[in-house]
Structure 1
């Protein structure tokens, strides 16, 4: 006689729950849709905000002038002063801690072959470049006391460079992700 199907109790249902959660939050980052969504969101936000100023505000200042331009210039001044203050007060600490983290991610990812560390490295290192570019641009704005058209031109150039870094980063990440998926995806690791 065949035993009737009974619902699983005890650890069987817990194991199924854990496996479902860990399947959703897969540590194999390059085969996970959430990683690619996060990558797109990070670069979308990085190119939308130029030194903390929404790009549509820069466009509105160029079209309308007057109060819109004064608001944009004031917001640029506030964000540049804040960014340069943080860089001046704790810049060396941030560089040291950042170098340690990048080195750790590079070693874990590419020497010890940990895919999650590779994914974070490929997401973080280009953002560090954008951060350095932002500090440089903020310094130029403050030192030259830019306003009006020269300020808007520099902000557009900063956004274009950020978008170029983002396109390059997404391209390299996509190539590395395809390589990882073709190499290790077939092995089932």
Structure 2
């Protein structure tokens, strides 16, 4: 027996029946909803609750992250769009046309995350254009977080339904 045969026997390499895939899915969406535009959401709650220095810290951190995101978008935006479109279309083709389960799993992670990335860039542009005060900035970040969480919930639901279908279709007798 070779090493690869042993590994494939011991470790289930199918994505949707692998516990690590589901742990990773939960961690990715938890992290995406906790950091809004790169700012930990507890800073937003602290700025709303206490004001003062917490508000100034929030405004400074948002300004830094918005400028960083917009700089990356302006310097490499066209290339990023092209590379992301190529990767997503390759994953979708490999996963859903050729039936490769790993590509399906990665596509079900990457597609909604790319929507969150585009939404984050749009929110960053709006914040840079309007330069809102701390109270409006907190509302804007909370609204952005709501939409990220909504996309995450829909993504987890769709991934779970598709994963259950995949697992049941491989099971004997189905």
TM-score (norm 2): 0.95
Partner of 1:51: 37
Unpaired segments ≥5 residues, structure 1? 1-11
Partner of 1:7: none
The structure with the larger Rg is 1
Partner of 1:113: 99
* Cα distance change on mapping 1:52 and 1:25 into 2, 3 Å: farther
| Larger RCO (alpha carbons 8 Å, 6+ apart) | 2
Aligned residues: 174
Partner of 1:8: none
**Within 5 Å, which residues of 2 pair with 1:76-95?**
76-95=62-81
Alpha-carbon contact 1:27-1:115 (below 8 Å) kept: no
**Within 5 Å, which residues of 2 pair with 1:130-145?**
130-145=116-131
Residue 146 in structure 1 maps to residue 132 in structure 2: yes
Shift in Å, 1:184 = 1.7
Could you tell me how far apart the structure 2 residues matched to 1:41 and 1:110 are? 25
Unpaired segments ≥5 residues, structure 2? none
- Partner SS state of residue 113, structure 1: coil
Aligned with 2:12 (options 26, 43, 47): 26
Provide runs of 4+ in structure 1 moved above 2 Å. Answer: 17-27, 185-188
Could you tell me how far apart the structure 2 residues matched to 1:53 and 1:133 are? 15
TM-score (norm 1): 0.87
Q: What is the CA RMSD across the aligned residues, in angstroms?
A: 1.6
Shift in Å, 1:156 = 0.1
